[in-house]
Amino acid sequence: MTLPKLSPSDLEAHLAQLDGWTVKDGKLHKEFKFASFVEAFGFMSSLALVSESMGHHPEWFNVYNRLTIDLTTHDSGGITDNDVYWAQKANQLST
Amino acid sequence: MTLPKLSPSDLEAHLAQLDGWTVKDGKLHKEFKFASFVEAFGFMSSLALVSESMGHHPEWFNVYNRLTIDLTTHDSGGITDNDVYWAQKANQLST
Amino acid sequence: MTLPKLSPSDLEAHLAQLDGWTVKDGKLHKEFKFASFVEAFGFMSSLALVSESMGHHPEWFNVYNRLTIDLTTHDSGGITDNDVYWAQKANQLST
Amino acid sequence: MTLPKLSPSDLEAHLAQLDGWTVKDGKLHKEFKFASFVEAFGFMSSLALVSESMGHHPEWFNVYNRLTIDLTTHDSGGITDNDVYWAQKANQLST
């Protein structure tokens, strides 16, 4: 099933609840910074499991303790509930 | 370099600072329980990096959200400062 | 849905195709040995993703380059198709 | 200790042995493609251990089964033996 792209107002409402996430180039975007690579990669591993389980994978860039994440749903041509859910999981796992 | 096995009094002093760790069958021992496999495996990944970096690897058993860890230094015939350091890192990363 | 426990003859037929796996204490069992901890943990990470995606998690014990895996389906009281599938994935990823 | 930046001729000689690696924007560069995210992330996990052990971390970008890696040694202002060693490990672990 292809999820519908979120409407601007729905997206706005979600963003208000997603600490640190913005929309950049049409994707949900956040930059994380950790105390060390050890902590950054543990976080990535947890989210790798979430991603595979959802069948929904991020675009992510890591160097040392920094991790930049962009989320979009290709089949839907934009940001969907799956991206919002993934972002919520990321925030929850980073605290 | 082979680290010396800790004396009983030194080991006792370290254990007093290592929340949740005991000595079982001559090894530093702790059982962790997480909210989910996702969190358990993220923790294991962080500690895998620590382990490889130290050249000091745990005996660990995982099923779902539970992780049992035993630490000893084979070359020293018992528990050493390396095991204590590893245990400290584990406690720090689990909080 | 609870999968049915495999019949002895079905289990036998599967085992004939599962290189290195045996039944031990009523569980599918295999011991893997890798060239290094680096390779062992990469393998574990791949299978952690498979496990979370299936909602089916192994009992596994690792020390350095060795990994012992036991598989059973608790809700079914024995070995099911899920365990066989997991074992197949493990063999495929280890080659 | 700060490793010296490789000379153009030394770099050339190394590149001849490093299947799939090129120099892009002054960094060692390669794009890997795997059969699945499961395999890509297992590979990343192995290399995360190598990285932490070396104290030398990649710039890497992943989406699903694709992984783009750039290597440089910041303290040396360019590509050093550490980058070459990391690239060798990556090639070895991807086969």
The subunits that touch chain C, with at least 3 C-beta pairs less than 8 Å apart, are: A, B, D
Determine contact, residues D32/D94, Cβ cutoff 8 Å: yes
Of C41, C50, C93, the CB nearest to D45: C41
Backbone angles phi, psi at A76, to 5 degrees: -100, -5
**Is the pLDDT at A65 greater than 90, yes or no?**
yes
Query: In terms of CA atoms, which chain C residue is nearest residue A42?
Result: C45
d(Cα C16, Cα A69) in Å, to the nearest integer? 44
pLDDT of residue C95: 82
Encode chain C (95 residues) as per-residue pLDDT tens digits: 789 999 999 999 999 999 999 999 999 999 999 999 999 999 999 999 999 999 999 999 999 999 999 999 999 999 999 999 999 999 999 98
- Note the pLDDT of residue B95: 82
Summarize the confidence of residues D54-78 as an average pLDDT. Answer: 97
**Model pLDDT, residue C55:** 97
Flag if D41 and C39 touch (Cβ within 8 Å).
no
Give the pLDDT score at C92. 97
Q: Give the end-to-end CA distance of chain C in Å, rounded to a whole number.
A: 32
β-partners of residue B5 are none
Look up the ipTM and state it: 0.95
- What is the spatial distance between Cα D51 and Cα D4, in angstroms, rounded to a whole number? 19
Neighbour subunits, A (≥3 Cβ pairs < 8 A): B, C, D
Burial degree of D54 (CB within 10 A; 0-12, 13-18, 19+): middle
Contact yes or no for C52 and B61 at CB 8 A: no
Subunits in contact with chain D (3 or more CB pairs closer than 8 Å): A, B, C
| Chain C residues near residue D46 by CB distance under 8 angstroms | 38-39, 41-42, 45
Grade residue A76 by pLDDT with cuts at 50, 70 and 90. Answer: very high
User: What residues in C contact B57, CB-CB < 8 Å?
Assistant: 37, 63-64
Give the closest-approach CA distance of D65 to chain C in angstroms: 12
Res. A53 pLDDT band, cuts 50 70 90: very high
B3 touches chain A (CB under 8 A): no
Q: What residues of chain B lie within 8 A of the CB of C72, using their CB?
A: none
CA geometry: angle A85, A82, A20, nearest 5 deg: 45
CB-based contact, D62 to chain C, within 8 Å: no
Instruction: Per residue of chain B (95 residues), give pLDDT as tens.
Output: 789 999 999 999 999 999 999 999 999 999 999 999 999 999 999 999 999 999 999 999 999 999 999 999 999 999 999 999 999 999 999 98
| Amino acid (1-letter code) at residue D9 | S
DSSP D67: E
Q: Residue A95: pLDDT band by 50, 70, 90 thresholds?
A: confident
Q: Is residue D9's pLDDT more than 80? A: yes
Q: Which residue of C has its CA nearest to D92?
A: C39
Which residue in the block uniquely carries the two structure tokens 């295999």?
Answer: C30
Chains in touch with B (≥3 Cβ pairs < 8 A): A, C, D
Strand pairing of C27-33 and C66-71? antiparallel
Chain A: closest CA distance from residue B78 (Å):
27
Residues whose CB is less than 8 angstroms from the CB of residue C38 and which lie 6 or more positions away in sequence, other chains included: B52, D46, D49, D50, D93
pLDDT at residue A1 is higher than 80:
no
Name beta bridge partners: B28: B23, B71
Using alpha carbons, select from B60, D74, D49 the residue that is nearest to residue A38.
D49
CB of D18 within 8 Å of any CB in chain B? no
The mean predicted confidence, pLDDT, of chain A is: 97
pTM above 0.90, yes or no: yes
Chains B, C: CB pairs < 8 Å? 38
pLDDT at B79: 98
A93 touches chain C (CB under 8 A): no
D48: chain B residues, CB-CB within 8 Å: 45, 48-49
pLDDT of the residue at D2: 87
Q: What number is the average pLDDT over the span A8-23? A: 98
Provide the CA A46 distance to its chain's centre, in angstroms: 13
Least confident of A1-5, A27-31, B16-20, C16-20: A1-5
By Cβ distance, the residue of C37, C42, C44 closest to D93 is C42
Interchain proximity D52–A60, CB inside 8 Å: no
The verdict on a CB contact (< 8 Å) between B41 and A50 is no
The pLDDT score that the predictor gives to residue C10 is 97
Query: Could you tell me if A17 lies within 8 Å of chain C, comparing CB atoms?
Result: no
